[in-house]
Amino acid sequence: MRTVLITWLAYLSVVSANAQGNPKQLLQAVNRKFAQVSDYSANLNMQFNIPSVALEPVSGKVYYKAPDKFRIKATGILFMPRQNPYYTLQSIRDTNAYTAVFAGQEQVGTVRTTVINVIPYDNAGELILARLWIDPARQLILKSQLTTKTNGTILVEQFYGAMQQKGLPDRIRFSIDVARFKVPKTVAIDLNSKSKNQSLPAKGTGIIELSFSGYTLNQKLSDSVFREEAQGN
């Protein structure tokens, strides 16, 4: 099934490449823009809207170092996507590792975007398919839909501001499939509560929004910043 899909998309790729140019060129342009950043630190505010979980916004500090080091330092408990915010960019860095196919054009907000499907060659990898909505004028990914093996489908929307020249977003919103939270009352020691929410769907969408501010770029961050401390706080 995967082979058929790749063959079909490869065929489409050839047809559309003739019509619109090579999609990998656009992806490379996106990569080049982000490659100007070797590392950064920034202030981070995280907001959560996860079904069955009440969690107040959390503030902290975020650190990134190319190619794939990412760390959030914040006090307290927080829920993060299993992939780091640059997972999409990391996935498209090696243009020989996937097939890229034009999938038309779509409006995202006020921007006419080029839609590209990315299918990795590596069957064992976590990513099955990435669908990217790219602003061709600014060479920025505005939206990506990642279909993963273990975490279902994740929608990542990126909103740019002052740092768009470097490919860094002001805000990233993750929409993630979440199974309904349910544990036995005896396990939660919640014996006296009344049952409710019986009619809730088995699945919902959890939203995590990261807002970045005060970026400091290319300061040669030490690897020790990315090491986990003994306790997870």
By CB under 8 A, name the one of 2, 32, 82, 149 that touches other proteins.
82
179: tokens are 């199974």
Helix axes of 23-34 and 2-20: crossing angle, nearest 10 degrees: 90
Quick one: which segment of 35-43, 87-95, 190-198, 212-220 binds other proteins (CB under 8 A)? 190-198
The single-letter DSSP state of residue 198 is T
62 closest CA partner among 42, 76, 46, 79: 42
Q: Is 1 in the site for other proteins (CB under 8 A)?
A: no
**Binding residue for other proteins, selected from 178, 207, 217, 225, defined by CB under 8 A:** 178
Which residues, including other chains, have CB under 8 Å from residue 39's CB and lie 6 or more apart?
A: 63, 64, 65, 66, 217, 218, 219, 220, 221
Binding residue for other proteins (CB under 8 A) from 50, 129, 155, 163? 50
Rank residues 120 and 206 by Cβ distance to other proteins and give the closer one.
206
Name the DSSP class of 21: -
Q: Which of residues 134-173 bind other proteins (CB under 8 A)?
A: 150-152
Rg (CA), the chain: 20
Report the side by side order of strands in the sheet with 39-49: 69-74, 58-65, 39-49, 203-217, 169-179, 152-160, 140-148, 127-135, 111-120, 98-108
Q: Which of 125, 161, 190, 222 binds other proteins (CB under 8 A)?
A: 190
Please report how close the Cβ of residue 2 comes to other proteins at its closest, in angstroms.
23
Residue 214 makes contact with other proteins by CB under 8 A:
no
The residue within the footprint of other proteins, chosen from 3, 18, 96, 193 (CB under 8 A), is 193
Of the two residues 52 and 105, which places its CB atom closer to other proteins in the complex? 52
227 phi/psi in degrees, rounded to 5: -80, 135
**Minimum distance, C-beta of residue 86 to other proteins, in the bound complex (Å):** 15
- Which positions lie near other proteins, rule CB under 8 A? 50, 52-56, 72, 74-82, 150-152, 176-185, 187-197, 206, 208, 231-233
